[in-house]
A and B are shown apart, each in its own frame.
Chain A
Amino acid sequence: MKRLAALFLTMLIFIPGALYSAPVERDKSSISFLTRQMGVPVSGSFKRFDADVSHDPKDAGKSRASITIYMDEVDAGSDDGTVEIKRKPWFDVKNHPKAEFVSSSIKELGPGRYEVAGKMTIKGRTREVLAPVAVKKDGGLWLFEGGFTINRLDFSIGEGPWADTGTVDDKVEVRFRLLAPVEEKNNKRRLK
């Protein structure tokens, strides 16, 4: 805690105004996922994550996003599932407590529609993902909504007998809904 405070202070002192990061409103934001088990759709969600999103509607190229998910606070949709998914064959939360997404490029597809490319790291494995994102203003906030599909086996999620995709489908749909404050004009510079 002290170290964190010190780091924060250091940042304030040495780079005042240089870093713009808009942490998302955690209460209003959500990251969920949908799997199929024996053909049955089962949804879960990540209860704790940090996300920094900065969005420049005039220049999509300058927008960026990074998300850190704390895997221990996952809800797999059932008591049994939530216990199981943290174990070694699945998320192996003990050795890989965080999953991360970092955007690498953002392309405008149309008004309020973007395509975000980035690196997704889960369980220590990094893969490129591509997610269409719809952006609109919602009150004083930006609402970012989108999703993408991953193959769980690309990240070794579900090893051993669980690698059987006849039981749990390889495809997992990830959906996110992030709300971040619209940035102030005088606070627009960013750390490269």
Chain B
Amino acid sequence: MDKPVEDIGWTRTAIALHWGTAALIIAGFALGEYMGDLAVSPMKLKLYSYHKWLGVTVFALAVIRLAWRAFNAPPPFPQKMPSWERAAAKAAHALLYALLFAIPIIGWLGSSAHGFQTVYLGVIPIPDLLPKSKELADLLEEIHEQLNHALFLIVIAHIGAAVKHHFIDKDDILRRMLGGGGRK
């Protein structure tokens, strides 16, 4: 028998970071899809900045999450979960983390290559690592976009798996991330 949720669940911090990241990447993704084709306008400049600020925040949260995870072990998989599912879950989570780092970094590099520095919240300048180069900027932008499409697919799989665990396997995978009974 699995132990009760309170003993083996996620920490409240981990739960908050998970849902915070989820909200930010949904907003960042939607903005990214929307803003690209807009005609140049003050609104477009604003949306690009908001998009970048969201990305910087996602990156920062990803760093915090990995650090938190290093000191607060994630709850174990349910005992009845088959090993191929465990392997798939681990791979998907590793990919999600990789993208949480890679997408903002490549977005920032692309912005630098376009000649636009990223200034977090309009106040904190983040140095440009790359010089201005149109070719490089276009390439990085393309990679940024494709990685986002990959992220989209993995997030769909992630949600699908959570729903499957809840309704078909009837385990507590989804419930323990929904919080409530999280340990401190």
List the interface of chain A (C-beta within 8 A of B). Answer: 37-42, 77-81, 83-84, 161-162, 164, 167-168
B4 on the interface (CB 8 Å rule)?
no
List the interface of chain B (C-beta within 8 A of A). Answer: 40-43, 45-46, 48-49, 114-119, 121-123, 134
- Bound-state CA distance A35–B123 (Å) is 15
B37 to A: closest C-beta gap in Å: 12
Q: B118 contacts which chain A residues (CB < 8 A)?
A: 40
Centre residue among B43, B45, B49 by max chain A CB count within 10 A: B45
- Whether the pair B40, A168 counts as a contact (CB closer than 8 A) is no
- Whether the pair A42, B115 counts as a contact (CB closer than 8 A) is yes
- Whether the pair A38, B114 counts as a contact (CB closer than 8 A) is no
- Bound-state CA distance A39–B122 (Å) is 5
CB-based closest 7 A-B pairs = A39-B122, A38-B49, A167-B42, A39-B119, A84-B40, A40-B119, A80-B40
Assuming the A-B contacts A39-B122, A39-B123, A84-B40, are A77 and B115 also in contact, with contact meaning beta carbons closer than 8 angstroms in the complex?
A: yes
B124 to chain A: closest residue by CB? A39
- Bound-state CA distance A77–B134 (Å) is 11
- Whether the pair A38, B45 counts as a contact (CB closer than 8 A) is yes
- Whether the pair B119, A38 counts as a contact (CB closer than 8 A) is yes
A interface, over-half SS = mixed
18 contacts between A and B (CB under 8 A): A37-B45, A38-B45, A39-B49, A39-B119, A39-B122, A40-B49, A40-B116, A42-B115, A78-B115, A80-B40, A81-B40, A83-B40, A84-B40, A161-B41, A162-B42, A164-B42, A167-B42, A168-B42
Q: A41 contacts which chain B residues (CB < 8 A)?
A: 117
- Whether the pair A40, B42 counts as a contact (CB closer than 8 A) is no
Assuming the A-B contacts A78-B114, A81-B40, are A168 and B119 also in contact, with contact meaning beta carbons closer than 8 angstroms in the complex?
A: no
- Bound-state CA distance A41–B41 (Å) is 17
- Bound-state CA distance A162–B46 (Å) is 12
- Bound-state CA distance A161–B40 (Å) is 11
Q: A83 contacts which chain B residues (CB < 8 A)?
A: 40
- Bound-state CA distance A33–B37 (Å) is 27
Among B42, B116, B123, contact of A78 (Cβ-Cβ < 8 Å): B116
- Bound-state CA distance A101–B49 (Å) is 34
Among B46, B115, B119, contact of A167 (Cβ-Cβ < 8 Å): B46
- Bound-state CA distance A79–B137 (Å) is 12
A6 to B: closest C-beta gap in Å: 43
Q: B119 contacts which chain A residues (CB < 8 A)?
A: 38-40
Centre residue among A38, A78, A81 by max chain B CB count within 10 A: A38
Q: B45 contacts which chain A residues (CB < 8 A)?
A: 37-38, 167-168
Q: A38 contacts which chain B residues (CB < 8 A)?
A: 45-46, 48-49, 119, 122
Q: A161 contacts which chain B residues (CB < 8 A)?
A: 41-43
- Bound-state CA distance A78–B115 (Å) is 7
Assuming the A-B contacts A167-B46, A168-B45, are A40 and B40 also in contact, with contact meaning beta carbons closer than 8 angstroms in the complex?
A: no
- Bound-state CA distance A11–B112 (Å) is 50
